[in-house]
Amino acid sequence: MQPRCAIADVPGPDSGRGAGRTRPGNGPMAPAVDFSIAFERSLPCGLCVGVSIPEDSSAITPAVLARLHPDEAGHAVTLHPRRQATWIAGRLALRAALAGLGAPPDPILPDDRGAPGVPRGMVGSISHKRLLAVGLASRECGWTVGVDVEQRQMGKQDITSRVLTGAERAGLAALDPAAREQAVMLCFSLKESIYKAIDPHVRRYVGFHEVDLALLPDGSARVDTHLVSAERLQVEGWWSFARDHVLTGARARPG
């Protein structure tokens, strides 16, 4: 059995190795320019696009708003200024991923659960941190998808016991502190991705301890769900790195 959360062979930062390939010709990481495409990566669960977020909200110009669907631009200006940049960048990332798969440029507005609504025949997901947003899109073929980015380093608060099950924590015991911290952030991120992928099926809050993960060295993960409401779902997940972030993706379907 694979050690839980133990990462024996961690790829270097920005490697894109493991969970999918970065599109040739685009390079693994373009230099950061505000609201520009930072990377485009093919993950097993869909096409993932990253967008750089400006530090300064004055970068939200009419030209940037014009890159959104008019309905999205109308929604963006209603948001608190602190939320506008991440919301816009998430739309631009998912819009680019959808366009890469040939989807029509319909508005991506929040549904009743806060998830991004995508054109018929597609599935998609959004995540953002302060300086990076990602969008993941795939053609609808029975799976729903989720994506998440997190900083590689844990913040001031140790989230280990909140996020990991006892079995997962036991699997980390042999790791050195740096590898353990990275494994915790990867598990945290993958659980957020899984939350977004399974939410359309369960439509309820799912706790971190309802899923057990084993991160595998090839960038995939073994996912064991023990949902308190006993829904039967097939869930798969992948992990990688992008800039100084961890990047994870997941997909789910009944079964």
Ligand X SMILES: CC(C)(COP(=O)(O)OP(=O)(O)OC[C@H]1O[C@@H](n2cnc3c(N)ncnc32)[C@H](O)[C@@H]1OP(=O)(O)O)[C@@H](O)C(=O)NCCC(=O)NCCS
CA distance 235 to 205: 17
When the beta carbons of 24 and 156 are compared against ligand X, the nearer one is 156
**CB nearest ligand X: which residue?**
114
Beta carbon of residue 150, minimum distance to ligand X (angstroms, whole number): 7
Burial class (CB in 10 A: 0-12, 13-18, 19+), 66: exposed
When the beta carbons of 113 and 139 are compared against ligand X, the nearer one is 113
Beta carbon of residue 24, minimum distance to ligand X (angstroms, whole number): 28
Q: Are 92 and 133 in contact (CB under 8 A)?
A: yes
CA distance 57 to 82: 8
Nearest to 148 by CA among 194, 216, 87: 194
Which residue ranges make up the site for ligand X (CB under 6 A)? 86-87, 90, 110, 113-116, 125-128, 148, 191-192, 194-196, 199, 206, 208, 210-211
When the beta carbons of 94 and 175 are compared against ligand X, the nearer one is 94
Beta carbon of residue 241, minimum distance to ligand X (angstroms, whole number): 16
Edge-first strand order for the sheet with 233-242 is: 144-151, 245-254, 233-242, 220-225, 211-215
* Cα-based angle 61, 100, 234 (whole degrees, multiple of 5): 115
When the beta carbons of 27 and 105 are compared against ligand X, the nearer one is 105
Beta carbon of residue 2, minimum distance to ligand X (angstroms, whole number): 19
Beta carbon of residue 246, minimum distance to ligand X (angstroms, whole number): 11
When the beta carbons of 48 and 194 are compared against ligand X, the nearer one is 194
